[in-house]
Amino acid sequence: MDDTRFAQLEAQVTAITKPAPPLLTYFFLIALSGTVVFPFLMLFLYFRYYTLHYRFDEDGVSMGYGVLFRREMHLTYARMQDIHLSQNLFERWLGIGSVTVQTAGGGEGGNLEIVGVREFEAIRDYLSARMRGVREGRGGARTAAGAAAA
């Protein structure tokens, strides 16, 4: 990946701070499937949607959500092992997807899931480039010539 493509990906991905609005529709469909508990489940998912935030920076990826019980997770690029994309039928219909980033030895608690984003393929490409850059000792996907020019 060349420096201009990486710079475009970086600008596109770092601009993502919240999930896409169709995620709320997806949450509504999920809550609707639990007919008896619909009001409680919808309330939980509504607050999760409005408190969900992402941050992509030089060190890694951060994600957080919650009102009463906050959950924050920060994952550095050096700890990332695998990146998985997923879309179920409803997510595909709404044009959103999920990116799951796995760490080595983290178990279930070591996975960071970026849900409800339209740019899920761009996120995968960006994270993959950052992982390669960290492992190759470049600190990112930039080449030595690109770093010298900066």
**For 34-52, how does the pLDDT look when each residue is reduced to its tens digit (9 = 90+)?**
888 999 999 999 999 999 9
Confirm whether pTM is higher than 0.95: no
Average pLDDT on 94-109 reads 84
When pLDDT is cut at 50, 70 and 90, the band that residue 149 belongs to is: very low
- DSSP output for the chain: --HHHHHHHHHHHHT--S--THHHHHHHHHHHHSSTTHHHHHHHHHHHHHH-EEEE-SSEEEEEE-SSS-EEEEEEGGGEEEEEEE--HHHHHHT-EEEEEEETT-TGGG-EEEEEES-HHHHHHHHHHHHHHHHTTSSSS--HHHHHH-
